[in-house]
Amino acid sequence: MGVNKPYYRTCRQFIDGGYSEGGRSAYILDPNFAESATHYIRAFLLLQEDLLRLFEYIEPSYKNRNTYSFRIHELLFRVCVEIEANCKAILKENGYSRSGDWNMDDYKKIERSHRLSSYYVKLPIWSGTGNRRRPFAAWASSKHLIWYSAYNHTKHDRHAFFQEATFNNLIDAISGLVVILSAQFWTEDFSPARRGLGIRGKGDGMESAIGSYFRVKFPNYLPKSERYDFNWQSLESDPNPFQSYPY
């Protein structure tokens, strides 16, 4: 027996291992699933546009991984702020509370509910090694995220740590944003002419992510007791079709 109601802002496998076959992931489109979902999607799409513009000047390549600049730092900062915004939304809408400002110790709790460390992101255009990223891998062993530390260092003392605002850290960070959005909304971008949920790409076992540039591989080994096991067509008429994750 699996989970009989979806958690707020949480996309996960169904009991048979699938995510969206047969339209089962329509729960993501319910307005009560996530507050202002398009607010977060639009912010990401703007960041993706700016990243692609950066690619006009810095070739997406392993050889350029240590390049750093003010433009890279600007994007790294904006991406990590957006990751924090998503983390706060997930925790808040699932009823998490703590006095004081939330920090990475709070955000890491999302690893339990969303298995972020299990996601892979692939860049479609990249020269050399490094086109396949696992941005939250460090959380599987309770270690810190190098790219997030770079953001924090340059935020508090840019002059001393400016060289950490690297192209490689930026790519890891935006891959992390792709992951955290995918872990909430699957591949749904909420556009009027949206693609059908669950259309699978060929050959690499990955899906076209929100924004249709990156590709993402979703976790496929969640214990059956933690997988979704409900019929949304029956559940959506329930006065309370969603539940909070017990952080």
Quick one: average pLDDT of 105-114? Answer: 97
pLDDT band at 200 (very low <50, low <70, confident <90, very high): very low
pLDDT, mean over the chain: 94
pLDDT of 124: 96
pLDDT of 194: 53
pLDDT of 90: 98
Q: Which of 16-30, 73-87, 188-202, 219-233 has the lowest mean pLDDT?
A: 188-202
State the pTM of this model.
0.94
User: With DSSP H G I counted as helix, E B as strand and the rest as coil, what are the percentages for the chain, rounded to 5?
Assistant: 45, 10, 45
pLDDT of 196: 47
pLDDT of 199: 40
Residue 20 has pLDDT above 80, yes or no: yes
- How many other C-beta atoms lie within 10 A of the C-beta of residue 232? 18
pLDDT band at 197 (very low <50, low <70, confident <90, very high): very low
Quick one: average pLDDT of 116-127? Answer: 98
- 218 class by beta-carbon count within 10 Å (0-12 exposed, 13-18 middle, 19+ buried): buried
pLDDT of 193: 59
pLDDT of 201: 46
Beta strands per DSSP E along the chain: 120-122, 132-133, 207-208, 215-217
Q: Which residue ranges make up each domain of the chain?
A: 36-224
% of the chain residues with pLDDT over 70: 95
CA distance 36 to 190: 11
